[in-house]
Homo-oligomer: A and B are copies of this chain.
Amino acid sequence: MSLTTQTTPSQLADRFAAVRALSLALAAPLSEADTQVQSMPDASPTKWHLAHTTWFFETMVLEPAEPGFRPHHPAFRVLFNSYYHAVGEQHARPQRGLITRPGLAEVLAYRAAVDARVLTLLARNPSPDTLALLTLGLHHEQQHQELVLTDLKHLLACNPLRPVYRPAPGRGAGAAPPPPPPGWIEWGGGAVDIGHAGAGFAFDNETPRHRHWLAPHALADRLVTQGEFAAFVAEGGYRDARWWLSAGWDWVCSQQVRAPLYWQADGATGWQVFTLHGLQPLAAAAPALHLNLYEADAYARWAAAHSGRALRLPTEAEWEHAAVNASAEPPAGAPGLQDPASDWLHPQAARAEAGPQALPRLGQARGAVWQWTASAYSAYPGYRPWQGAVGEYNGKFMVDQTVLRGSSFATPRGHARLSYRNFFPAQARWQFSGLRLACDL
C-alpha cells in the first residue's frame, strides 16, 4: 500500500501553517506546568504532543528528504519517538511527564525550527514521497490535537479545584429540552462496499475498499443522550450484572464505578459534569460522552430489555454504509474543531433541521462524539500497512481494540472521513466517546 497525495506543495504549505498554528492555539491558555504533567500512562503531556508531532515531521519528512540532514537535537530522536521501533528506541511512555527539560520554550523553538525547514523543503519542489509523508504528518498532528484536549481534560479533572481550561462560549445545552425518541434508518441487507476509495488522503487501515455482507438492520438517527444515560444510572444500571459483558462487570466491581467519567453527584441538582469549561450541570439533551465500550454496550442491553427490541451497538460496516447513504454530511461541510478560542469544547444538543428533509438522515454522524461500534479493530481483507516506519502507524494495534466511528467536536475540521476508523481499548473512557443504537430487523 503506497502513501500518496495529490495536493500541491503550495497547498500543503498553507495547510501545514494552519495545522501547526492550531496546536499552538490549543496550548495557548496553558501554563508551562499544565503542558508538562502526565496524569496517567495512557495520557501524554501537551508539551510532549507539541514535540512529538514535530518529531514526526523531522523524522519522517525531513530526514529522508533534506540533503545532509542533521537533527535539531540528537536526543530528541528517542525522547519524542512514540512507538516506532523502526526508528529506534523510545523513551518510556509512562515517564513522558518527567522530562522537564527541554522546557516549553525549547519545544516551541523546536517547532519553529522544524516549521522553517519543512517550508523550505516545500519550496524546493519535493518528491511525491515527501508530499505524501507531509500530508500524513498533518493528519497525525490533527489526531494529536484531539488528544491534547482529552489528555488535558483528564489532568485538570484530577485537580480538586476543577480548573477551567477556557470559559464557556455561551449558555450551553443545559436547558435544551430532551429530544424525542430516535427515528430509525432501516436497511434490508445485502452486499455493500466498505472502505476508502478515491484520491484523497486516508489511513492505510481504511483500505482496501472491499465487499461486505450486511444483514437487515436499522440505525438510530441520533446519539444516545446524557439524559437517557442518566436514566440507566438512576435505574441501577451500574449495579446489575445482567447488562454487562463479563470483563465490563469485573471493571465495574473492581473500580467501583457508579457513573460515567467526570460525572459528580450534586445533592441539590442531580449531576454536574466536569468539562473543559469547568463544572456544568448535566445537559440532558446533549450526547452522552466519556463512555467506554463496556458502558456503551451495557446501555444498549439495558435499552433492549426495556424496549423489547433487539437493540445493540452497530457494526462499523453498518455505520459506514448508513453514513454514506443517509446524507450524513451537513451541507456546511464536515464539522469539527476550528478555533479553540471560541468553539464549544463540549458536545451540545443536536439542533433541529431547518426544513423538510428528502432523505432520512444519520444525525450527529460527525462532530458530536465518537461512536463505539460492535466491531473489533482488524485488518480489512487484503490490508497492507504502508512501507517503512509509517507502517507501524496503525497495523500493529489490531488486537484487543474496538472501532469507534464518526468524529467528535474536538476532531479538527477536515480531519475525519466517513471511512475513518478510530480505535481504543474497551476500558478507555477518557476519550470523547458515546454511542448510537442499532437494531436487528
Contacts and interface: CB of A to CB of B under 8 A. Distances in A.
Interface of A: 31-37, 39, 47, 75, 78-79, 83, 85-86, 91, 95, 97-104, 155-156, 158-161, 163, 191, 210-215, 217, 241-242, 244-249, 293-294, 297, 310, 312, 374-376, 378-379, 381-382, 384, 396-400, 402, 425-426, 440
A262 to B, nearest CB: 15
How many copies make up the complex?
4
B375 A101 contact: no
Contact of A85 (B214, B241, B425): B241
5 contacts: A85-B241, A100-B159, A101-B156, A214-B381, A245-B396
A181 to B, nearest CB: 23
Contacts of A293: 399
A295 to B, nearest CB: 12
A333 B159 CA distance: 45
Contacts of A294: 399
A402 B99 CA distance: 32
A246 B402 contact: no
Contacts of A249: 85, 396
* A contacts with B: majority SS: mixed
A159 B36 contact: no
A245 B75 CA distance: 26
Contact of A98 (B102, B158, B248): B158
B215 A381 contact: yes
A394 to B, nearest CB: 10
A277 to B, nearest CB: 15
B440 A382 contact: yes
A78 B160 contact: yes
Nearest to A426: B399
Nearest to A75: B161
Contacts of A86: 242
A342 B249 CA distance: 42
Contacts of A160: 75, 78-79, 91
A305 B242 CA distance: 46
Contact of A397 (B211, B245, B384): B245
Contacts of A378: 374-376
Given A97-B97, A249-B396, 18 more contacts: A31-B101, A34-B101, A36-B37, A37-B97, A37-B98, A39-B98, A95-B158, A100-B156, A210-B215, A213-B213, A244-B396, A245-B397, A293-B399, A297-B399, A310-B382, A310-B384, A375-B378, A381-B440
Contact of A242 (B85, B99, B163, B310): B85
Q: Which of A159, A375, A397 has the most CB of B within 10 A?
A: A159
Contacts of A425: 400
Contact of A213 (B35, B91, B102, B211): B211
Contacts of A397: 245-247
Contacts of A75: 160-161
Nearest to A297: B399
Contacts of A212: 213
